[in-house]
Amino acid sequence: MCDKVKPTCSYCQKKDVPCWLPKSEFEVAWRDQNQVASEAVRRRVTARHRLASDKKREQQSTELIRRDSSEVPRVLPQDPEQYALTFFFDTYLRPSTLSNHQRGFFGCVSPALARAAPSSVLWPAINACAQALLEAWSFLNPNAPQSLAPPYYIQAIAAIRRHLQNAEDIDDDVLLATMLLDMYDRIRSFCSARPHKSPHIKGSAAMIENRRNIPITTKTSPSTLLAVRSRIVEDALKNGESIPTNVLTWTPVIQNTPRTAEIELGAINMEVANLQVSAVQLKTPRTAALVPGLLAKAIELDRRLIAWTATIPDEWVPTHIWDLESIPHSIREAGFYGNHCTVHRSIWTADTLNLHCTSRITVGLVILTCLEHVQDSVMDITWMETLTILQSLADTVCASIPFHLGDRTEVRRIDDKNIQYPQIGENLTPDEHYVAAAAFGGIFLMHRFVELLKLAPFLRPGQLPWILGQMGRIKKIYMS
């Protein structure tokens, strides 16, 4: 600031600028006011810009800053929509390098997008799902008021409603959009530790029932129908519900589809779900009359599930690692049950095999319940043999945990290649497993653990608290 020393103040002399201080009272009265006014305007504009910049930074810190972590940047990029889509495509829709690799309904999304119009209902559904996943991985709770995902979710629902109100055919885009919205709801339920109700899947089943044209419209239509069916069956098994009658009518539509191991297991599990519901009646006065029929059906389904293992591709057979010294200490410390672990072809095949185990456990529990109502020493032996099998199946699921989670015990980047996984000999962990295991491993395991808890009274000593501990580990990894 000018110190008003004449003829030239020391401040202006030091800054090498003309001193603005008038030299006389005449200059005070008659000097050019333009320079003074311009300087005042410049100062006001600068102050406004600084205030706006401060408010913008404060808003970003409120909406986008995540919890402290050395592994993940503190703020999201300035274009969260584009970044969310890139993250979703690179992580969840990344093409697999494995041949004949099945990825559930995710395998149907990319082909559908390739032919989808800009106005397709798929786009807002994908935006909602992608934004929720990005926020979950950035630990910006998708349930928070600041979440950017809900507007896309609302847009997707509105687009589906318009599609139905216009009496347009229910094509693959609509069905896949409902699957994506179901995934959005699952993400929010998982992040808030709330049960998931699956309204969108029930809506998908109703839309398929009312489909006006022949459902097979594209090469991916059968896969889309099977993906919806798979989700319906899985929810029915988890919630103890029967399979809707209309789902059983889809069989003729997809009968020309190649009968893969996943399709065959899904067909068996429809009957397993209905058996589970029927078994509830064993607690009623009609138990004695129901036992023979339910026991025969349960034994038949168990035999079919055992036979299913002979139909899986050779590359699906897991490798058992018994040499504990070859398994990194960090993996054993994080979560290792028993004296071995398994390595699978992919996270998807591992989950399919675990689903097979939990399906057999569901059937086995019905067998145990029926045998409890049969007074026969031979049946007592069968009861013990069945229990041993069920405990072995639980061990099999537990042995796959290192393959799903590695030594991950806390928040880490989704593509962190410092995570250690069990390896077969000198074979390195495939690059795609680092992302796939992080993206899906914990979610898949949590579903299987819920099924294992049905076996809680019959688990081996100490196994139940160990499983509960691993469920807590998953929550810490994904929800901390």
**Cβ atoms within 10 Å, residue 268:** 18
Between CA 160 and CA 31 the distance in angstroms is: 71
Q: How far apart are the first and last CA of the chain?
A: 52
| Paired residues of 343 in beta bridges | 319
Global pTM value = 0.79
**CA triplet 422, 424, 428: central angle to 5 degrees?**
75
Q: Is 2 exposed, middle or buried (CB count within 10 Å of its CB: 0-12, 13-18, 19+)?
A: middle
Phi, psi of 107 (to 5 degrees): -70, -15
The backbone region for 197, taken as left when phi is positive above 0, alpha when psi lies in -120 to 50, beta otherwise, is: alpha
- Asked, as a colleague might, if the bond just before 313 is cis with ω within 30 of 0, I would say no
Residues in the chain: 480
Q: Which residues of the chain have pLDDT under 70?
A: 1-8, 10-12, 14-45, 47-78, 99-102, 167-168, 209-219, 246-258, 285-286, 377-378, 480
- The one-letter amino acid at 215: P
Strands 341-343 and 319-321: what pairing? antiparallel
Residue-level pLDDT at 58: 47
Letter string b/e over residues 175-207, b meaning 16 or more CB atoms within 10 A of that residue's CB: bbbbbbbbbbbbbbebbeeeebebebbebbbeb
User: How far are the Cα atoms of 206, 273, 319, 434 from residue 279, in angstroms, in the given order?
Assistant: 27, 10, 35, 41
- The one-letter amino acid at 72: V
Between CA 404 and CA 445 the distance in angstroms is: 8
Phi, psi of 378 (to 5 degrees): -65, -40
- Say what angle helices 442-452 and 377-399 make with each other, to 10 degrees: 160
Between CA 343 and CA 349 the distance in angstroms is: 10
Tokens 């029967």 locate to 242
Between CA 390 and CA 203 the distance in angstroms is: 35
Report helix, strand or coil for 91: helix
**Cβ atoms within 10 Å, residue 274:** 17
Residue-level pLDDT at 2: 59
Long-range own/partner contacts, residues 106-110 (CB < 8 A, 24 or more apart)? 107/223, 108/172, 108/176, 108/220, 108/223, 108/224, 108/227, 109/176, 109/180
| Paired residues of 320 in beta bridges | 342
Residues 303 and 379: beta-carbon distance below 8 Å: no
Between CA 251 and CA 257 the distance in angstroms is: 10
* Residue 185, C-beta contacts closer than 8 angstroms, at least 6 positions apart: 196, 197, 198, 199, 200
Residues 204 and 121: beta-carbon distance below 8 Å: no
Q: Which two tokens stand for residue 417?
A: 């290649």
> Which one-letter DSSP state was computed for residue 7?
S
Q: Which two tokens stand for residue 45?
A: 């504009």
pLDDT in tens, 88-119: 888 888 877 776 666 777 888 888 888 888 88
User: How far are the Cα atoms of 370, 385, 391 from residue 458, in angstroms, in the given order?
Assistant: 16, 12, 7
- The one-letter amino acid at 333: E
Residue-level pLDDT at 283: 73
